[in-house]
Amino acid sequence: MKMYVGNLSFSTTESELNHAFSEYGTVDSANIINDRDTGRSKGFGFVEMSNNDEAKAAMAGLDGSQLGDRNLKVNEARPKEDRPSQGGFGGNRGGNRW
């Protein structure tokens, strides 16, 4: 099961995230999402656990708990939604402006 972990401190490492979830079972992966331009954490990540019972226990145990100086938000990850194409910088290019 893939879980979304939000409200992470910008200084939280993937190792710390892995350690927190590993108390509930085997962690397959723990990834923190970084900004493409700055490389800085965006404050959220994803953790995958193959055992659903362990993942549910981790969600129940860690949602609202403190990691670093923040209270975590943990829930089951939703599939990534496709964003509609904006065709560049947006706006109605080439259309009637008035």
Residue 80 has a pLDDT of 79
Q: What CATH architecture is 2-76?
A: 2-Layer Sandwich (3.30)
The two three-digit tokens of residue 84, written as one number: 């509609």
pLDDT at 36 over 60: yes
The pLDDT tens digits for 50-90 are: 999 999 999 999 999 999 899 999 999 998 787 676 655 55
Contact 21, 62 (CB under 8 A): yes
pTM, 2 dp:
0.80
The two three-digit tokens of residue 59, written as one number: 């969600």
Identify which of 71, 21, 73, 68 has the alpha carbon closest to the alpha carbon of residue 31.
21
Contact 14, 29 (CB under 8 A): no
Q: Which residue has the higher pLDDT, 21 or 89?
A: 21
**φ and ψ at 46, to 5 degrees?**
-135, 140
